[in-house]
C-alpha cells in the first residue's frame, strides 16, 4: 500500500506522462553513475 501511495504522489507532483518518463530516466542515469 505504501508504494501505491508513493506512485500516486509521484503522478500528482510530476505532471504529464512525458515529463514523468524524462524524470525517471534522469534518476536512473544518476543512480547508475554512482
Residue 34, classed as helix, strand or coil, is coil
Q: Tell me the pLDDT band of 33, cut-offs 50, 70 and 90.
A: confident
pLDDT of residue 15: 84
Whose cell is 512525458? That residue is 18
pLDDT of residue 29: 92
Q: What 8-state DSSP symbol labels residue 16?
A: S
Region 5-34: mean pLDDT is 88
Predicted model pTM: 0.59
User: Rounded CA gap, 11 and 13, in Å?
Assistant: 6
Amino acid at each position: 500500500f505504501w508504494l501505491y501511495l508513493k506512485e500516486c504522489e509521484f503522478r500528482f507532483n510530476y505532471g504529464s506522462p512525458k515529463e514523468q518518463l524524462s524524470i525517471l530516466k534522469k534518476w536512473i542515469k544518476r543512480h547508475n553513475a554512482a
